[in-house]
Chain A
Amino acid sequence: MGNYSSLENTAKNIRISIIDMLKEAKSGHPGGSLSAVEILTALYFKEMKVDPQNPNWADRDRFVLSKGHAAPVLYAVLAEKGFFPKEELNKLRKIDAMLQGHPDMKGTPGVDMTTGSLGQGLAAANGMALAGKLDGKDYRVYALIGDGECQEGIIWEAAMLAAHYKLDNITVFLDHNGLQIDGANEEVMDIEPIDEKFKSFGWHVIKIDGHSFDQIFKSLEEAKNTKGKPTIVIAKTVKGKGVSFMEDVAGWHGKAPNEEEALKAIEELGGRKDG
């Protein structure tokens, strides 16, 4: 096991930023943002080749937030990384602001694809991976999809395409927190066995604890070493992770915390410290 104390501190700050910005915005999606914090932190603060000073750098690694409603975690990470000033976070979802309710690639530096309508991001990520292969570039493409999102037909159209074109330069994370707006996946529309589904679609499948940096980095290594097929990392996560009263509660999918709830959440997270 490596020492991930610095990344863990970054993840904590990301969580606090998420709570802060949603409190200010008075609407948005905390649950599915908090469940993906370690995945995005690992990607942006260690794994991916990106340059905040040159966000459109042609050879950069790409990240597509296919579950676009988790925009707060992406915005918090991009701001922490220096793609844009942190002051922008508190203007989320407000009139004339740079940060839209769902990611807008033309308005926000560092956002590689406009998303929000579920399923489309994965297919777009495939397009980026195809272009990389065509140009002989070695950049990698990452995408984050949700478990409820796997109910969209286009996910499976895209899953077929990635395997058919042997896109081993794409790694998809499935943020498997088990909950969607109307309740648990298995009650709304069961997606299991999701690992077998992707396997039978021709993908290399890895299952991990999505809050363990150690397991995330091991899966990334394994994905890079997997040739001739795309890799999906099924990351078991907890919706609302880190805030006791939000954890595993579907009601926190798309509801912002009020002042009091935000204060309590940030206190639980240990408050903001630098370092």
Chain B
Amino acid sequence: MANMIATRDAYGEALRELGNKNKDIVVLDADLSGSTKTALFKEAFPERFFNVGIAEQNLIATAAGLATAGKIPFASTFAVFAAGRAFEIIRNSVCYPKLNVKIAATHAGLTVGEDGATHQAIEDLSLMRSLPNMVVLSPADGIEAKQCIYKAAEYNGPVYIRLGRSKVPVVFDEDYKFEIGKGVELVEGKDITLIATGIMVEKALRAAEGLEKEGISARVINISTIKPIDKDIIVKAAKETKGIVTIEEHSIIGGLGSAVAEVLVENHPTYMERVGVEDTFGESGDGGVLLEKYGLSVSNIMDKAKRILSK
């Protein structure tokens, strides 16, 4: 069994490390510091941690004010409240003035699990991707999550980082180097391409193994920068394989699938299938079981790949 780390845990550790290196890093949370893991920073640097209470609009606007004075604020809450409830604050007080605010949103997607549909953000990538000046990151595992946090801190401007609640298998080696805007080919392949983001990368890798057993050579690409997206790696895959399956723990509307479709339509139209939440809300239940029920499964990825290959 692979090493398992939740991306939110990696976030908390990365924050604490950054706090040592850079005194301008400040952290804000909206009464969820135990869950978002910003509590790790709070314990180490209490004077640089601000709990704003259950007030997500205030969370973002206060962070914006701190950024105007040279601070590098990381603001955290659950993705549904960050991207949803505070959307217009992010738009007008962070993205429009291009302030140096990092929004690290945890508990994204169906794997929130038992809390149910109210707490399962399946549209945050779509919302954040639509905002000018916003960089949108969606790391695949704990190692990449840490790298995303480091790079976000170095980058001057708004960044949204999508993090998950559940422990997920580690896919990257310790020496992996993440770069904003660069996709990574994890598995070579010539028949079909699987483009995945976030915790679905690991499932894409398993789907590729399954396809290989059936004699199908599947390329696997990790896209952890949803915006600005790596057009080159997508177009190259479109040219070199028969089609593309996108895989995300997000609505099929507006997220990775849409971003890839936009690149393909304008550059190299090809066959495409999207694996994601199919325009519906989630429900309560075990996260892993929910992924299966809503089609975010290895078997569904394999089916969609084969559907393209049968055309």
Contacts and interface: CB of A to CB of B under 8 A. Distances in A.
A131 B65 CA distance: 8
B66 A123 contact: no
B62 interface: yes
A130 B68 contact: no
B50 A165 contact: yes
Interface stretch (A27-35, A156-164, A183-191, A250-258): A156-164
A48 interface: no
B300 interface: no
B57 A124 contact: no
| Residue among B55, B61, B64, B73 with most chain A CB within 10 A | B61
Contacts of B57: 119-120, 123, 153-154, 157
Interface in B45-82: 47-48, 50, 52-53, 55, 57-58, 61-71, 73
A157 B65 contact: no
A104 B93 CA distance: 10
Interface stretch (A39-47, A88-96, A109-117, A239-247): A109-117
B42 interface: no
| Residue among B48, B58, B65 with most chain A CB within 10 A | B65
Looking at chain B's contact residues, is the secondary structure mostly helix, strand, loop, or mixed? helix
A127 B68 contact: yes
A154 B58 contact: yes
B98 interface: yes
B55 A120 contact: no
Contacts of A128: 65-66, 68-69
A134 interface: yes
Contact of B52 (A105, A117, A124, A157): A157
Interface in B153-194: none
A125 interface: yes
Nearest to B57: A154
B88 interface: yes
Given A58-B70, A131-B70, A154-B57, A126 B88 contact: no
A197 interface: no
A49 interface: no
Contact of A105 (B55, B66, B73, B97): B97
B71 A131 contact: yes
A202 interface: no
A130 B65 contact: yes
A42 to B, nearest CB: 23
B22 interface: no
Contacts of A72: none
A126 B71 contact: no
A214 B66 CA distance: 33
Interface residues of A, number: 34
A124 B58 contact: no
A132 interface: yes
Nearest to A135: B69
A34 B310 CA distance: 71
B89 A120 contact: yes
B290 interface: no
A218 interface: no
B50 A116 contact: no
Contacts of A160: 53, 55
Contact of B69 (A105, A117, A120, A132): A132
A111 B241 CA distance: 52
B26 interface: yes
A165 B65 CA distance: 15
Nearest to A112: B68
Contact of A130 (B55, B66, B93): B66
B70 A123 contact: no
B63 A127 contact: yes
Contact of A117 (B47, B53, B63, B88): B88
B92 A114 contact: yes
B281 interface: no
A161 B55 CA distance: 10
B64 A124 contact: yes
A273 to B, nearest CB: 37
A-B complex: 8 closest residue pairs judged by Cβ atoms: A127-B65, A123-B61, A131-B69, A124-B65, A157-B58, A157-B55, A114-B97, A127-B66
Interface of A: 58, 62, 64, 104-106, 112-114, 116-117, 119-121, 123-132, 134-135, 153-154, 157-158, 160-161, 164-165
26 contacts: A62-B68, A104-B96, A105-B97, A106-B97, A117-B89, A120-B89, A123-B62, A123-B65, A124-B61, A124-B93, A126-B62, A127-B61, A127-B63, A127-B64, A127-B73, A128-B65, A128-B69, A131-B65, A131-B68, A134-B47, A153-B57, A154-B55, A157-B57, A158-B58, A161-B53, A165-B50
Given A113-B93, A127-B61, A160-B53, 20 more contacts: A106-B98, A112-B68, A113-B64, A113-B65, A114-B96, A116-B92, A117-B88, A117-B92, A120-B92, A121-B61, A123-B58, A126-B62, A127-B65, A127-B67, A130-B50, A130-B66, A131-B69, A131-B71, A134-B26, A157-B57
